Chain A
């Protein structure tokens, strides 16, 4: 029994898990919700104080933390909701139309 590796796959009925149960954790990483974006945030590294107000509010866990520092957005999964832009008190996150 396998689970769906990628939403773009079209597995046959007998290749799918019984009853749609998702076997395994963290599988949302395999769904590229970045495609849904209309607006896009931008990280202005030099203005960023590493205050960490932004990453807890990200509904898609698209603000990666590495070595106790936030890094650039995970654009495979960022849906462009703009919540991080709203909470940043330092103007370190921009928010504009995708593809501009």
Chain B
């Protein structure tokens, strides 16, 4: 089981954390990996805390339970840091990535004594500047690929461009905005 990378996403209903987890599964799938991408379903509504999961591995994983000891935690909304035990079970040699304008050092005191690596990226700002609205999942996806090293970066960027052309064939501005957001988030993530 050691070759399985487990990721837990924390977000709020409507922010796209589930979509981001599915996009990451897609990206990893495109590099030949076995993937799982699944949300924890509950009484979801806009703004309610939600959790989503990824397992990424070289062989098929047969586990069908939630993830309790993730290698990585991704927090799409920093206000969850004080509302949810985001570092619960997070491996010491893993990492947490938070959507925030603050630095990792500034946020570490909110992480219940977590001693592993902390990264931040201002996905909200990047999204607003490149896409004109706060839609943080694309930049978060770029940052998690950067931080985890799960997928070769060049291939990831190429794949994303390809699938965006597929999805938004007639909206070049959307493709450009998303690709810029993706590249910026990979460069601007703090804590590396």
Query: Do A and B share a direct contact in the complex (Cβ within 8 angstroms)?
Result: no
